[in-house]
Amino acid sequence: MAVLSALLPSTMAFRGVSALKLKQRQLSLQWQRTKAERERIFRITQELERCSDRHLADLGLSRADIPDVARGTYRRG
């Protein structure tokens, strides 16, 4: 029984560290996905901002539509 009680605290500490590392990894992956999505939105916005008003009109867009297009939430009216 003494052996079991001696191992129990270290086992519980290991589980705590493992859970912490897992959570840290999940947060890191979430941050990477969020960063990639923000970069994608920025690139799309920059590309559309470079277009002339005439070109945007040919696409059926106005400058006010650019943020929605970049985020993927644009709906034709």
pLDDT band at 16 (very low <50, low <70, confident <90, very high): confident
- Residue pair 65/74 in contact by the 8 Å Cβ criterion: yes
- Residue pair 8/16 in contact by the 8 Å Cβ criterion: no
pLDDT of 26-51, one tens digit each? Answer: 999 999 999 999 999 999 999 999 99
In this prediction the pTM is 0.71
* Rounded-to-integer distance, Cα 49 and Cα 44, Å: 9
Structure-token pair, residue 56:
């945007």
pLDDT of 50-71, one tens digit each? Answer: 999 999 999 999 999 999 999 9
